[in-house]
Structure 1
Amino acid sequence: MKQNKYDDQGFFDQYSGMARSVGGLDAAGEWPVLRGMLPDLQGQRVLDLGCGYGWHCRYAMEMGAKSVVGVDLSDNMLKRAREMTDDPHIEYRRLAIEDFDSEEGQFDVILSSLALHYVESFELTCRKVYHSLAHGGAFIFSVEHPVFTARAEQDWHYGPEGERLHWPVDGYQEEGMRVARFLGHDVVKYHRTVATIMNHIIDAGFVITRVAEPQPTEEVLLQYPEMKDEARRPIFLLIAAVKA
């Protein structure tokens, strides 16, 4: 399934009001850790899978990348990305992640931010990424944490006063499609265990160099106090790997 909720104007309008949509990378709680997992981007050929507004594409150019390609299926996302981008070395392509193909070794760095849990075949994506990377190239990505995606409800268990008691985990070993409710819409995601995610990366030929389950920084919590409960359970899983 190649899902394109962001071209539903109502959904896109709601997404555009989220903190990370307005504040960019500085409003993304996982960004400080993800940034630290990136290699030196100076002179690198970079691909961003599921580029959205193009925040990471522009960051890569600011860090001295030679060229950047951003891929996304949404016309709305790419229109916004192009409006916010003034750099001829950044190319945006309308394409589903599942449909992306490139020449062998075409890129030095491939990254993806919170997009791969929407892709049905993560195994195939890993193989394509490996093919597309030059020897020694880096693959860095973030996904929603399997603790977060295990239940389709993706919500807290609440007490009688509406207080958040705990985050329930159930059906963790039952991998596959989940229909979650996000911004008032049904959104299809794919749940995989941590082991499955890591083993698909290893089986594709990568060497995993770093794994992180970041919490919001104190600076982010000061600016966005509503994120205080994000430290009570992992919401993101970040992995860095290199093409062996």
Structure 2
Amino acid sequence: MQQNKYDDSAFFANYSRMPRSTGGLDAAGEWEDFRALLPDLRGAKVLDLGCGFGWHCRYAREQGASSVVGIDLSEKMLERARAMTDDPGIEYRRLAIEDFEFGAERFDAVISSLAFHYVERFDLLCRNVHRALEPGGSFVISVEHPIFTALAAQDWHYGPEGEALHWPVDDYHSEGAREARFLGHDVVKYHRTVASYVNGLIEAGFAIRKLSELQPTEEMLARNPEWREAVRRPIFFLIAAVKN
């Protein structure tokens, strides 16, 4: 199922007020780890799946990428991305992640930030990306951590005084759709295990280069004490892989 919640005016307005929407990559808590997983982008042809406002597209060009294609299903997201971009080396296309179709060995790097937990068939997506990459090409993604997506509530278990006692994990091995609440709206996310993410990549022909579960640094905690929650349970899962 392809969702397009971001073209809902109320949802988009709420998303536009998020720190990562107003402050860009430096306001995204996972950015430091994501950036560390990226390959050398100088001269690279880059594809960004679920590009949103185009922050990663513009960063790739700043790092010397020769060209960048960003795709997203939301016209509102792409409209904002185009308004924020003054670079003929970046092309934005309205397209669902599940439907992207490019020639074989078209890109040197494919990236995606916090989009694949909205995609039902990760295995098919991995095969499409593998085909689109040059041999030795990089595939770097971030998703919501499976510990975070296992239960649709995505919330703590609270004590009698409202204190967060623990993060419940249940139905972990029961993969599939979860109807979660995000930005005041019901949103369908797809839960899959860590093993499914890793094995989906391996079975598609990728070698895993590095994983990250984003342990907050002291600097992050000093900037934003709310990141203390991510010390108790991971919220993001990041993977860097390479096409064999």
Q: C-alpha separation between the residues in 1 aligned to 2:116 and 2:161?
A: 36
Structure 1 runs (4+) deviating above 6 angstroms are none
**What SS does structure 2 have at the residue aligned with 1:64?**
coil
**What SS does structure 2 have at the residue aligned with 1:140?**
strand
**1:172 corresponding residue in structure 2:** 172
Q: C-alpha separation between the residues in 2 aligned to 1:132 and 1:188?
A: 27
Q: C-alpha separation between the residues in 2 aligned to 1:33 and 1:62?
A: 18
Q: What per-residue deviation string (whole Å, max 9, x for no partner) do you get for residues 101-152 of structure 1?
A: 1000000000000000100110000000000000100000001000000000
**1:109 corresponding residue in structure 2:** 109
**1:3 corresponding residue in structure 2:** 3
Letter of the 1:161 counterpart: E
Q: C-alpha separation between the residues in 1 aligned to 2:218 and 2:142?
A: 20
**1:208 corresponding residue in structure 2:** 208
How far did residue 207 of structure 1 move? 0.6
**What SS does structure 1 have at the residue aligned with 2:160?**
coil
How far did residue 231 of structure 1 move? 1.5
Q: C-alpha separation between the residues in 2 aligned to 1:223 and 1:192?
A: 31
Q: C-alpha separation between the residues in 2 aligned to 1:181 and 1:20?
A: 19
**1:239 corresponding residue in structure 2:** 239
Report 1:22-41 matches (<5 A): 22-41=22-41
**1:79 corresponding residue in structure 2:** 79
Matched, 1:20 2:20: yes
**2:217 corresponding residue in structure 1:** 217
Aligned partners of 1:126 and 1:204 also within 8 Å: yes
Letter of the 2:228 counterpart: K
**What SS does structure 1 have at the residue aligned with 2:169?**
coil
Q: C-alpha separation between the residues in 1 aligned to 2:51 and 2:84?
A: 13
Q: C-alpha separation between the residues in 2 aligned to 1:165 and 1:68?
A: 44
Q: C-alpha separation between the residues in 2 aligned to 1:224 and 1:7?
A: 30
Q: C-alpha separation between the residues in 2 aligned to 1:26 and 1:224?
A: 13
**2:137 corresponding residue in structure 1:** 137
**What SS does structure 2 have at the residue aligned with 1:196?**
helix
Letter of the 1:153 counterpart: A
How far did residue 17 of structure 1 move? 0.9
How far did residue 199 of structure 1 move? 0.6
**1:147 corresponding residue in structure 2:** 147
**What SS does structure 2 have at the residue aligned with 1:241?**
strand
Matched, 1:97 2:97: yes
Indicate the RMSD between aligned Cα atoms, in angstroms.
Answer: 0.9
Gaps of 5+ in 1: none
Q: C-alpha separation between the residues in 2 aligned to 1:181 and 1:139?
A: 29
**What SS does structure 2 have at the residue aligned with 1:208?**
strand
How far did residue 159 of structure 1 move? 1.2
Q: C-alpha separation between the residues in 2 aligned to 1:60 and 1:161?
A: 47
**2:198 corresponding residue in structure 1:** 198
Q: C-alpha separation between the residues in 2 aligned to 1:242 and 1:10?
A: 39
Q: What per-residue deviation string (whole Å, max 9, x for no partner) do you get for residues 195-215 of structure 1?
A: 111111000000111011003
**1:52 corresponding residue in structure 2:** 52
**What SS does structure 2 have at the residue aligned with 1:24?**
helix
How far did residue 230 of structure 1 move? 1.7
Q: C-alpha separation between the residues in 1 aligned to 2:221 and 2:160?
A: 26
